[in-house]
Structure 1
Amino acid sequence: MPAVLSLAVFVVAFFFIATEKADKVKVVLIAAGLMAVLGLVPGAEVFFSEHSGIDWNVIFLLLGMMIIVGIVKQTGVFDYLAIWAAKKARGRPYRLMVMFMTITAIASPFLDNVTTIMLVAPVTVVVCNRLRIPAQPYLIAEVLASNIGGAATLIGDPPNIIIGSRAGLTFTDFLVHMAPVVAVVFVVFVLLTKVLFRKSFEYHPEHVAAVLALQERRAITDPAMLRRCLIVFAAVVLGFGLHSVLHLDPAIVALVGAGVMLLLTGADLGDVLGEVEWPTLVFFMGLFVMVAGLGHTGVIETAGGWTANLFGDNHFAAATALLFGSSALGAFFDNIPYVATMTPIVEGMVADVPDAATGRALWWAFALGADFGGNGTAVAASANVVALGIAARTGHPISFWQFTRYGIVVTVLSTAIAWGYVWLRYFL
């Protein structure tokens, strides 16, 4: 009965989010409240356990990076980068999209996809505003590229950190096993975007000419402040990269970086906090509680276990089930709590595999499915939610289905390529 109730609450909430019949923040708060009132979440543990409740590491990582971006924005560097990018692309829409996707995909493996989107999205919006073109297609393409690129490394996508910790996989392991297929998927994705977004490529010669005439250096309003910001930001990025050495959670690094940047730049705290996407943070908290209800009542474990055990001792079939099952389930449940719930199940499966290399193949199939499934819907990954929040705030709202109709196509294609890769590399 509890499992049926929790699933019913989640499905109804997901319906309202998907159809946008009500504000998504209000929906998740009501759904989270129902989960608590009906006893479907693990009591007070929902506030203290990242695996069965709100993952505060994600929340505070987002908060820290939002503060950093809010401070950096005051220097005018986003306008500088926007003008520079528009000039390099000569205002050509597809060329501009490829440039932004490439920057995003290269940065995501090292910054994590949420951080990358928070840095690239404001620049994208400024470029599109100056060229008088809709920003939505470019933002959607960047998010899809970030989820693809982030799959390449241990720190690029939050689910990878959970999997790496549980499976004992290193940064190098992820780079060697995940990066090759990520590179192939990204190249195919870049070619696909020319077809997917073909109706969105608008070229206005008069606006392009006006942008090309601008001097980007004049956009920097406070060079001294920018230098301080860049020094602190470089230290934050270094902290992210040394995660396994320093044993500091990225959230701690981001919050310390935000505090130091506030101190060194003298930025007005009120203005900076005004740039924080508070509705996005609240939405995440409510979503985590909703998924905690599914996890606590056994819905996710039952679905995942059924998928994982469907093919018994046939290890390639098990890898296939993990890959496609994680891609499908990860598209509807935020992939962070989904991976946290499923990891013990995969660990049990791997323990029953006599060959270590084949056991590792199951982990890679699981990781690829969870990462690529993050593109499935507008709420499947943290970067998706963050991007939609930025889009709404800047006057370029993206609906649930506007994002999802592109995301599903990319998810199916990338998962199919990943399946071929797993077969060729580990089972052929």
Structure 2
Amino acid sequence: TAPQAALLVILLGALLLQALLPSRRVLIVTGGAALASLASTLLGVATTQRLLAEVPWDVLVILVTLGLLSQLLAASRLFDRLAVAATRLSGAEPFRVILVFSIAMYLVSGVVNNLTALVLVLPVLHVLLKLMGTRQRYVSWLLGLLLVACNLGGAATPIGDFPAILLLGRGSMTFGAYLSRAAPATLFALAVLLLVVGAVVRPAAGVPRDPVSARLTRAAMEALHRRVRADRRLLVPAAASLSAMVVAWLFLPAELGVGPELVCWLGTGAALLMARRLGERLARAGLDIEAVLFLLSLFVMVAAVRRTGLFEEVSRSLERLPVAPSLQLVAFLVLAGVLTGLFSAGPSMAALLDVAESLAERLPGPAVYVGLALSVCAGSSLFLTAATSGPLAQALTERADLRDLDGKPIRFGFFDFLPAGLLSFTVIQAVAIAYALLAVWTGR
């Protein structure tokens, strides 16, 4: 119909433009939302008030409060200490650096968002690379794998990244149900990826491995970060609140009506109160307005398209495919991965979740939802522009002014990331499909 075509063009046009011009993405998407609201009203689809009423405000509450808690954890310098510990464990040996820092980023990204994780860990890694001496190929694979590990860590827990937060906020899966399924699947994908890189790609080949130089590098890193200490006055309230929130998500009975958004609100509020002055500063100035505006605008555009019945038609088209329901799910997961590679994780997840809910009526819910989260993770690992933290990693690396053993500047751009992205997409998408088929087969 004409309303479907008009609103779909607005949605896809905004998503395409924000992918091509990431520095203007908030203006583009907010403008697209305003245009979608106008078109929806004039075409008789829904008024702006109706569209705003369909915005999942609970998801935005979860996103904002977890962002504030992440900033409190970052201010405690806990992750600075973890980065130094990772340096010590790696022993400045090239492949062990890849292994240890990838696992560290996976763990950190399960608790804080990808951008925070990178800002905390990447500067320490840049100093280590300067002391070690390195090559362009090695740095491209190392940083590429760190971004992918961030994506996998974010997909591993219901509080790590937007797609999982959306599932939690919409009530598609409980905290425990998602965590018990997604964490093993993402950890398996990371293990397979690191195994393939170590055995086949071998990016550490050609990087010098001098034991004396390694000892000097470790000593220099220890000296540089000797004064870094975790601030217990901030760490204790943040960690205590996060632990209490996890316990509440896992064990509070659903009949109480206390949703995950209220748990986040209360837990983060308590942590900020205990942090005193810093808590007040974060509450006033620490809100991630860019993320809130972006997602609010995205939800408005998706709500307008949903009102036209387009998502229901897509669901019916999937049902009409002349294959078994499990293969319909595979087609949906591959589509989700490709669309995420083109448009990034947030827009893809918001648009595809309605179709996923239709599939979940005929197939086990975990197979659909966890499979979708893994496919979105695969797509966000395909291109540097698809990863939320990709442009930040590129900017931080350029600012670090890394040079190889011959004195040539080391880059980290779109094509430098691409080999790691293609391999990661293939591995994670395969794990997503395998998990979904296994979950359908076992009925779990």
TM-score, normalised by the number of residues in structure 2: 0.71
User: How far apart in 2 are the matches of 1:137 and 1:49?
Assistant: 42
1:99: how far off? Answer: 0.5
Structure 1 window deviating more from structure 2 (44-53 vs 80-89): it is 44-53
Structure 1 window deviating more from structure 2 (319-328 vs 179-188): it is 179-188
User: How far apart in 1 are the matches of 2:17 and 2:164?
Assistant: 30
Matched with 2:349 is 339
Contact 2:315 2:359 (8 Å CA) reproduced: no
> The residue matched to 1:332 in structure 2 has which SS?
helix
Aligned match for 1:141, one of 135, 141, 145: 145
> The residue matched to 1:331 in structure 2 has which SS?
helix
1:337: how far off? Answer: 4.9
User: Over residues 207-261 of structure 1, what are the superposed CA-to-partner deviations in whole Å (9 max), with x where a residue is unaligned?
Assistant: 64443224848835475x7222221231243144235237453753446534533
The Cα RMSD (Å) is 4.3
Aligned match for 1:151, one of 139, 149, 155: 155
Query: Is 1:375 the counterpart of 2:381 in the alignment?
Result: yes
Residue type of the alignment partner of 1:11: L
Query: Is 1:289 the counterpart of 2:293 in the alignment?
Result: no
1:189: how far off? Answer: 1.0
1:320: how far off? Answer: 1.0
Aligned match for 2:116, one of 108, 115, 118: 118
User: How far apart in 2 are the matches of 1:201 and 1:229?
Assistant: 43
User: How far apart in 2 are the matches of 1:201 and 1:277?
Assistant: 45
User: How far apart in 2 are the matches of 1:130 and 1:173?
Assistant: 39
1:98: how far off? Answer: 0.7
Query: Is 1:418 the counterpart of 2:419 in the alignment?
Result: no
User: How far apart in 2 are the matches of 1:389 and 1:269?
Assistant: 24
Aligned match for 2:63, one of 58, 76, 90: 58
Structure 1 pair 238/361, CA: closer, same or farther in 2 (3 Å)?
Answer: same
User: Over residues 144-169 of structure 1, what are the superposed CA-to-partner deviations in whole Å (9 max), with x where a residue is unaligned?
Assistant: 11322443444444423433565663
Aligned match for 2:334, one of 324, 328, 336: 324
User: Over residues 276-317 of structure 1, what are the superposed CA-to-partner deviations in whole Å (9 max), with x where a residue is unaligned?
Assistant: 797xx5266336525643552359837953774352672112
Query: Is 1:160 the counterpart of 2:164 in the alignment?
Result: yes
User: How far apart in 2 are the matches of 1:203 and 1:304?
Assistant: 54
Moved over 6 A (4+): 44-48
Contact 2:302 2:351 (8 Å CA) reproduced: no
TM-score, normalised by the number of residues in structure 1: 0.73
Counting matched residue pairs gives 399
Query: Is 1:257 the counterpart of 2:295 in the alignment?
Result: no
1:363: how far off? Answer: 3.8
Matched with 2:43 is none
Contact 1:322 1:365 (8 Å CA) reproduced: no
Contact 2:79 2:120 (8 Å CA) reproduced: yes
Structure 1 pair 8/124, CA: closer, same or farther in 2 (3 Å)?
Answer: closer
User: How far apart in 1 are the matches of 2:13 and 2:164?
Assistant: 29
User: Over residues 304-352 of structure 1, what are the superposed CA-to-partner deviations in whole Å (9 max), with x where a residue is unaligned?
Assistant: 537743526721122212321222223334434543443343333333x
Matched with 1:427 is 441
Structure 1 pair 415/61, CA: closer, same or farther in 2 (3 Å)?
Answer: same
Structure 2: which 5+ residue stretches go unaligned? 1-5, 41-46, 253-257, 401-410
Residue type of the alignment partner of 2:368: L
Which protein is bigger by CA-based radius of gyration? 2
Structure 1 window deviating more from structure 2 (304-313 vs 87-96): it is 304-313
Matched-pair identity in %: 18
Structure 1 pair 334/375, CA: closer, same or farther in 2 (3 Å)?
Answer: same
Matched with 1:362 is 368
Aligned match for 2:19, one of 6, 10, 14: 14
User: How far apart in 2 are the matches of 1:6 and 1:149?
Assistant: 29
Structure 1 pair 80/52, CA: closer, same or farther in 2 (3 Å)?
Answer: closer
Contact 2:374 2:429 (8 Å CA) reproduced: yes
Structure 1 window deviating more from structure 2 (85-94 vs 118-127): it is 118-127
Structure 1 pair 329/291, CA: closer, same or farther in 2 (3 Å)?
Answer: farther
Equivalent runs, 1:28-427 vs 2, <5 Å: 28-37=26-35, 39=38, 43=48, 50-51=55-56, 55=60, 57-66=62-71, 68-69=73-74, 71-73=75-77, 80-109=81-110, 111=111, 114=113, 118-119=116-117, 121-132=119-130, 137-164=141-168, 166=170, 169-194=173-198, 198=203, 202-203=207-208, 208-214=214-220, 216=222, 219=225, 221=227, 226-244=231-249, 245=252, 247=259, 249=261, 252=265, 253-254=267-268, 256-258=270-272, 260-263=274-277, 282=290, 285-286=293-294, 289-290=297-298, 292-298=300-306, 301=311, 305=315, 308-311=318-321, 314-351=324-361, 353=362, 358=364, 360-378=366-384, 380=386, 384-386=387-389, 388-389=391-392, 392=395, 395-396=399-400, 399=413, 402-403=416-417, 406-427=420-441
Structure 1: which 5+ residue stretches go unaligned? 18-23
Contact 1:61 1:251 (8 Å CA) reproduced: yes
Contact 1:177 1:364 (8 Å CA) reproduced: yes
Contact 2:383 2:418 (8 Å CA) reproduced: yes
Structure 1 pair 25/196, CA: closer, same or farther in 2 (3 Å)?
Answer: farther
1:95: how far off? Answer: 0.6
Contact 1:311 1:318 (8 Å CA) reproduced: yes
Structure 1 pair 211/418, CA: closer, same or farther in 2 (3 Å)?
Answer: same
